[in-house]
Amino acid sequence: MKDYAQIRQEVEKTLQELSLWKGEPQALYLPAVYALGQGGKRIRPVLALMACQLFGKECSQALMPAVGLEVFHNFTLLHDDVMDKAAVRHGLPTVHVKWNANTAILSGDAMFAAASSLVAKAPQECLSAVLDAFHRLALGVCEGQQYDMNFETQTTVSMAEYMEMIRLKTAVLIAGSLEIGALCAGASASDVKCLYNYGNQIGLAFQLQDDWLDLYADEAKFGKRIGGDIRENKKTYLYIRAIENLDAEDRRKLEQWFSTATTKENETEKIAAVKALFEKANAHNACQEAVNQLFAQAETDLKSLASHVDAPALQELQSFTANLLGREF
Amino acid sequence: MKDYAQIRQEVEKTLQELSLWKGEPQALYLPAVYALGQGGKRIRPVLALMACQLFGKECSQALMPAVGLEVFHNFTLLHDDVMDKAAVRHGLPTVHVKWNANTAILSGDAMFAAASSLVAKAPQECLSAVLDAFHRLALGVCEGQQYDMNFETQTTVSMAEYMEMIRLKTAVLIAGSLEIGALCAGASASDVKCLYNYGNQIGLAFQLQDDWLDLYADEAKFGKRIGGDIRENKKTYLYIRAIENLDAEDRRKLEQWFSTATTKENETEKIAAVKALFEKANAHNACQEAVNQLFAQAETDLKSLASHVDAPALQELQSFTANLLGREF
């Protein structure tokens, strides 16, 4: 069994050594190398490999599909950053800022093609199932991004709509990574489903935690400025819960702030005022409570595996996801 | 054996009936339906199905991958039109004009995912080979588009560079469609290679013919205005050949025109002057000659098949490609 550090190292090494990135024209491949070189926790391939080794198989069985999932994730970031006009990621200029929008579009497309070709290196006996999972998650992520963009111009977004959006935009890729890792190991359909459900809860929790961290994170550690979602009038869990919980007058105030563009002059006041309204509505605690519930549900989902998977490998997976969510394990 | 009309009808029917396009959110899928509904000759899926039936197999073996190739082709058009700022296609507004650039990017991504999932419906026994061909062609098309964009700011483009660009941007998808159709029919490696080479020549010829048609087409039939490439200072076969053939003074004049933005005031004079320079360099005849040579080479490539493939199916393929190139068969 490999631990997180070992798995992560194998993912990094494989990503770096892909001969693809050395191809011509370099104008196409350099932005991919740049985006993939920015690190991060490599959550998706790590989850795929951790799922694979649960079933007593070598990680190498799922290595190429796992790396493909990381390339896919980074492709979505290139395109999302164009669509969302995001200028900074991991503290560095995004591809469309460092180069231009056309580069981000086309290098992203090449990354999607490369990701598909890596996923297609799954073991022959599970290839169709892996591809099916990959195409489902790829379409899901597009659907999620579309809902997210729709929400920008939609006056009201219900909590159910929001949860469905983050399920598609974030959770299906987390769940799909576990699914693909398990499929590569030849896991049974019920075990695959169990890991998918686990990943779905973890993915939802991860996004809600991210919504909460927008206001309560340690700024240095979080890597982005506090209040970014408020600055962009983003309808997150905190906003939607607050709208639900506040009385008519406060709701009107909150809606007022969210229909006002953020400027250098108003931003300090705006973030403080919105934060106060969120807290008045108890949205911040509701958010933490939701994360806790999802995390507990995820742990329960995993129980049926405990009887027949590799125990240290299961512990490694649980401790990794707990760590992701800042929870104790 | 099915003829072109029957094959085309089957492609149209399958494309229209894909349940995918009825999914939610409709904002994601409607642009795909719009783009795919604009018709065209369905060259790529038709070639895939014609290749399949050469080997005595039912077209249905290759139907889903063939339709996937059409969806893939249309995905590249959505993104290319954003990158090239093209406003009109098939006489209708492009997706990024009718909706916006974000829609064209994201619906394009979803079409790429859908295309991959259709290609992955190839028969189990040839799945890996089909996927390999698909991923090679997908990366090739991205590389071709990158070279094409590079050429815009490159002062000189050699004929070798140009031919490599159109090989990647256009020919690999034509060749790959024939390859995938043949693979789905279980054709031998040498027959697959032979069809690939055939497709490559046809694809190159098709692009050079398109370069020529920019000046010499019947405007109504061609579906775009004459001289579009000149208007956009596009370095096509005609331009590159003319630069090679003209004396220093005429070359300077041509370069001068191509470093001048086209305006309402200068466009009639510019197109006439550039056309005259092209003709002085005999570039228009050289282009037709190159198409003839490629077409003849393609016919020769095909000869090794004649001994063992279905003769009427071979004739149908040859007459379809001859027709594409406006050549007699």
pLDDT digits (tens, 9 = 90+) for B133-145: 999 999 999 999 9
pTM: 0.97
Task: Report whether A313 contacts A54 (CB < 8 A).
Answer: yes
3-state SS of chain B: helix, strand, coil percent to 5? 75, 0, 20
Residue written as tokens 């795929």? A48
pLDDT in tens, B287-318: 999 999 999 999 998 999 999 999 999 999 99
- Please state the domain extents for chain A: 4-324
pLDDT value of residue B225:
80
The conformation of residue A169, written as its DSSP 8-state character, comes to I
Please tell me the distance in Å from B314's CA to the nearest CA on chain A. Answer: 32
Interchain contact, B102 vs A83, CB within 8 Å: yes
Residue B113 tokens, joined:
């995912």
pLDDT value of residue B223:
67
Interchain contact, B102 vs A109, CB within 8 Å: no
What percent of chain A lies above the pLDDT cut of 90?
92
Alpha-carbon distance of B145 to A314, in angstroms, equals 45
Interchain contact, A139 vs B117, CB within 8 Å: yes
* pLDDT mean over B186-199: 98
Alpha-carbon distance of A254 to A42, in angstroms, equals 36
Residue A312 tokens, joined:
């240290």
pLDDT value of residue B328:
73
pLDDT in tens, A231-271: 999 999 999 999 999 999 999 999 999 999 999 999 999 99
CA neighbours within 13 Å on the CB side: how many for B13? Answer: 8
Which residue in A128, A139, A147 is closest to B113 by CB distance?
A139
Interchain contact, A132 vs B120, CB within 8 Å: yes
A324, pLDDT greater than 90: yes
pLDDT in tens, B217-234: 887 776 678 899 999 999
A71, pLDDT greater than 80: yes
- Cβ atoms < 10 Å from Cβ of B60: 14
| Chain B: residues touching A (Cβ < 8 Å) | 20, 23-25, 27-28, 79, 82-83, 101-102, 105-106, 109-110, 112-114, 116-117, 120, 124, 127-128, 131-132, 135, 138-139, 142-143, 145-147, 149-150
- Side chain identity at B303, as an amino acid letter? K
The conformation of residue B94, written as its DSSP 8-state character, comes to -
* pLDDT mean over B18-32: 94
Q: Which of B14, B52, B65, B51 is nearest to B36 (CA)?
A: B14
CB contacts of A145 in chain B (<8 Å) are: 106
* pLDDT mean over A144-158: 95
Alpha-carbon distance of B99 to B171, in angstroms, equals 30
* pLDDT mean over B9-36: 95
Please give the class, per CATH, of domain B4-324. mainly alpha
pLDDT in tens, B27-81: 999 999 999 999 889 999 999 999 999 999 999 999 999 999 999 999 999 999 9
- Banded model confidence at residue A223, pLDDT cuts 50, 70, 90: low
In whole angstroms, how far apart are CA A87 and each of A207, A268, B15, B102? 21, 21, 38, 16
Alpha-carbon distance of A240 to A228, in angstroms, equals 16
Which residue in B25, B128, B135 is closest to A150 by CB distance?
B25
Q: Which of B242, B258, B241 is nearest to B250 (CA)?
A: B242
* pLDDT mean over B184-212: 97
Interchain contact, A105 vs B110, CB within 8 Å: no
Please tell me the distance in Å from B132's CA to the nearest CA on chain A. Answer: 7
* pLDDT mean over A151-176: 97
Alpha-carbon distance of B170 to B168, in angstroms, equals 6
CB contacts of B124 in chain A (<8 Å) are: 128
pLDDT value of residue B137:
98
Angle ∠(A132,A177,A218) on CA atoms, nearest 5: 145
Which residue in A83, A112, A131 is closest to B106 by CB distance?
A83
| Mean pLDDT, chain A, integer | 95
Residue A108 tokens, joined:
């992203």
Residue of B nearest to A132 (CA): B117
Interchain contact, A124 vs B128, CB within 8 Å: yes
| Residue count (chain A) | 329
Which residue in A82, A113, A142 is closest to B138 by CB distance?
A113
pLDDT value of residue A207:
97
pLDDT in tens, B105-162: 999 999 999 999 999 999 999 999 999 999 999 999 999 999 999 999 998 999 999 9
Question: C-alpha dihedral over A120, B139, A24, A122, to 10 degrees?
Answer: 0
Alpha-carbon distance of A116 to A135, in angstroms, equals 9
Alpha-carbon distance of A172 to A137, in angstroms, equals 6
| Mean pLDDT, chain B, integer | 95
Q: Which of A242, A254, A233, A220 is nearest to A287 (CA)?
A: A242
What percent of chain B lies above the pLDDT cut of 70?
99
Q: Which of A251, A280, A209 is nearest to A43 (CA)?
A: A209
Please tell me the distance in Å from A116's CA to the nearest CA on chain B. Answer: 7
Report yes or no for ipTM above 0.90.
yes
Segment among A98-112, A121-135, A219-233, A298-312 with least mean pLDDT: A219-233
CB contacts of A176 in chain B (<8 Å) are: none
pLDDT value of residue B224:
72
Q: Count of CB contacts below 8 A, A vs B?
A: 108
CB contacts of B20 in chain A (<8 Å) are: 139
